[in-house]
Amino acid sequence: MIETIYIEKEIEDNSKTIQILRKFKNARKISIDRYGEIFNRKNQNFRVQKINPSLILARKHKGFVLPTPVGFGIGDQKNFYFSHMYNCLYDCSYCFLQGMYSSANYLIFVNFDDFKKEIKQVMERNMGENISFFSGYDCDSVAMESVTNFINDFIPTFRGHENALIELRTKSVQTRIFEKLEPISNCVIAYSLMPEELAVKLDKKAPSVSSRISAMKKLSAMGWKIGLRFDPLIYSNNWKIKYQSLFKEIYSEIKEESIHSVSLGPLRFPKAYFNKIFGYHRGEEVFSQMDINSANVVSYDKALEYEMNTFCKNDLLKYCNENKVFHCYS
Ligand code: SF4
């Protein structure tokens, strides 16, 4: 339940602002000049704010579409990301947003048209090349759809542009929005997954893995392309058996031809982010194998990281072709 909404004065009359505010008639509304006053305020505690986040409606001024970090992609020549929103409904223990932001408030940039305009410009500049746009970098792409109407607004921008792929990264099991839309072959609904036993402990507030698999099954039957994202791969006792049975379960439910791509990524954080996250979750087992003393990037031991990637990839190759499997290292 959103109790407080901060609204930048300059977007008070924006149609998206009005649309969102209609959903929160009883919330306290506070006018602000710039979102940074609230979102970037010093001495905030992400964990405390996560208990009852406020909503911030703002305008983004520049940098609507950005190149992804090196190593992030699913096979296309060029990769971009855009973030209409910062922060997430869910509360995964390993979420890097806790390290990146000091605020857990939901920040929505309501000027969707500026994002779409820049996406179209990037498409035009890269005509003839295969490019990917990733939308779930700083949020979950689908989880807040009932508030943002993001998917409904953005899918038409990609319709008819076969060389420009959009990935919607999510753990949400909402499928109703996709039922209302005609599937497009250049949209991948990409599910973040890990063995259920781990997700129960780590993917707090997120739907169960079995319900994510059911959602994928439903969406693939409607004709939507599915992405499988085992990113991050999480170490635990008997991790090999757990991942093997997860892969088996997924491929027994979903036809291989519906799966656009599979990606694997190690658990790793920039040192500064890790220090904050580790401070919040000191007792969490998920961090027990990490080399907390490393200088720049905190990750598992390189040999373990390599073993996990290699083992999982080889097991996945029982079910899918190698050209669908990617490693993401960003
Ligand atoms: S679903 Fe993704 S963005 Fe949301 S809390 Fe979990 S890791 Fe973070």
Domains of the chain as residue ranges with CATH: 4-327 (3.80.30.30)
Sheet with 106-109: strands ordered across? 28-32, 4-8, 55-58, 106-109, 85-86
For residue 170, the ligand 1 atom closest to its alpha carbon is 1
Q: CA-to-CA distance for 151 and 7, rounded, in angstroms? A: 22
Answer yes or no: is the C-beta of 88 below 6 A from any ligand 1 atom. Answer: yes
- Residue 74 corresponds to which tokens in the numbers above? 């699913």
Helices 239-253 and 209-222: crossing angle, nearest 10°? 30
Residue 90 CA, closest ligand 1 atom number:
5
Q: Is the CB of 171 under 6 A from ligand 1?
A: yes
CA 92–ligand 1 middle distance (angstroms): 6
d(CA 114, CA 118): 6
pLDDT of residue 71: 83
pLDDT reported for residue 146? 96
CA–CA separation, 301 and 138 (whole Å): 26
Question: How many angstroms does the Cα of residue 124 sit away from the middle of ligand 1?
Answer: 32
Query: How far does the chain reach from its first CA to its final CA, in angstroms?
Result: 34
The Å distance, Cα 296 to ligand 1 centre, comes to 23
95 lines ligand 1 (CB under 6 A): yes
CB atoms within 10 A of CB 302: 10
From the CA of 136, give the closest atom in ligand 1.
3
Backbone conformation region of residue 49, classed left if phi is above 0, alpha if psi is from -120 to 50, else beta? alpha
Specify the pairing of strand 85-86 against strand 66-67.
Answer: unpaired
Regarding the beta carbon of 249 and ligand 1, being less than 6 Å apart is answered: no
Residue nearest to atom 2 of ligand 1 (CA): 140
pLDDT tens digits in sequence order for the chain, 330 residues long: 899 999 999 999 999 999 999 999 999 999 999 999 999 998 899 999 999 999 999 999 999 999 998 888 888 889 999 999 999 999 999 999 999 999 999 999 999 999 999 999 999 999 999 999 999 889 999 999 999 999 999 999 999 999 999 999 999 999 999 999 999 999 999 999 999 999 999 999 999 999 999 999 999 999 999 999 999 999 999 999 999 999 999 999 999 999 999 999 999 999 999 999 999 998 888 998 898 888 899 999 999 999 999 999 999 999 999 999 999 876
* 212 neighbors 195 (Cβ within 8 angstroms): no
Q: Hey, what are 323's tokens?
A: 């050209």
Long-range contacts of 310-316 (CB under 8 A, 24+ apart): 311/240, 311/243, 312/230, 312/233, 312/243, 312/247, 312/264, 313/264, 315/243, 315/244, 315/247, 316/247, 316/262, 316/264
187-205 burial code (b ≥16 CB/10 A, e <16) = bbbbbbbbbbebbeebbee
Half-sphere exposure of 58 (CA within 13 A, CB side): 23
| pLDDT of res. 72 | 87
- Supply the pTM of this predicted model: 0.96
| CA-angle at 64, arms to 187 and 18, nearest 5° | 85
Looking at residue 330, its pLDDT comes to 64
- Ordered strands of the 325-327 beta sheet: 66-67, 78-81, 131-134, 164-170, 187-192, 225-233, 259-266, 325-327
